[in-house]
Amino acid sequence: MIAIVDGGSTKCDWVILENDGTEVLKTETIGFNPNIIKAELIAPEIENNQALSKFHDYIEHIFFYGSGCGTSEKKLIVEREIQKVFTNAQIHVKEDLLAAAYAAYRGVPAIVCILGTGSNACYFDGEKVKTELPSLGFLIGDEGSGSALGKQLVRHYFMKKLPPDLHQQFTEIYQLNIDDLLKNMYHNPRANAYMADFTRFIVDRKTHPYFQNFIYKELKNFLEFQVMPYEECRECEVNFIGSIAYFFEDSLRAAASDFHFKIGTVVQKPIESLVNYHRDYIIPKL
Average pLDDT over residues 38-52: 94
Distance CA 137, CA 134 (A): 9
Q: How far is CA 159 from the centre of its chain?
A: 28
Give me the residue spans of the domains in the chain. Answer: 2-100, 107-268
Query: Residue 172: what are its φ and ψ, rounded to 5°?
Result: -65, -35
In the predicted model, is pLDDT for residue 258 greater than 80? yes
| Residue 39: band (very low, low, confident or very high) from pLDDT cuts 50, 70, 90 | very high
Query: How confident is the prediction for the chain on average, in pLDDT?
Result: 92
**What mean pLDDT is predicted for residues 123-143?**
85
Give the global pTM. Answer: 0.78
Which stretches of 122-205 are DSSP H helices? 137-140, 146-158, 164-174, 178-187, 191-196, 199-203
Burial class (CB in 10 A: 0-12, 13-18, 19+), 36: buried
Q: Give yes or no for residue 134 having a pLDDT over 90.
A: no
Angle, nearest 10°, between helix axes 146-158 and 164-174?
Answer: 110
Residue 189 scores a pLDDT above 80: no
Handedness of CA 154, 117, 28, 83 (dihedral sign): negative
User: What pLDDT shows up at residue 113?
Assistant: 93
pLDDT at 214: 94
Per-residue model confidence (pLDDT) at position 233: 87
Answer whether 2-100 and 107-268 agree in fold. yes
**pLDDT band of 277, cuts 50, 70, 90:** confident
Considering only 28-42, 130-144, 212-226, which range has the smallest mean pLDDT? Answer: 130-144
CA distance 226 to 222: 6
Please state, in angstroms and rounded to a whole number, the distance separating the CA atoms of residues 77 and 79. 6
pLDDT at position 13, please? 95
Sheet holding 129-130, edge to edge: 129-130, 119-124, 110-115, 237-241, 262-267
**CATH class entry, domain 107-268:** alpha beta
pLDDT at 118 over 80: yes
Distance separating alpha carbons of residues 203 and 246, to the nearest angstrom: 11
Task: In whole angstroms, give the CA distance from residue 128 to residue 109.
Answer: 10
pLDDT in tens, 54-108: 999 999 999 999 988 989 999 999 999 999 999 999 999 998 888 888 888 888 8
Topology of 2-100 in CATH? Nucleotidyltransferase; domain 5 (3.30.420)
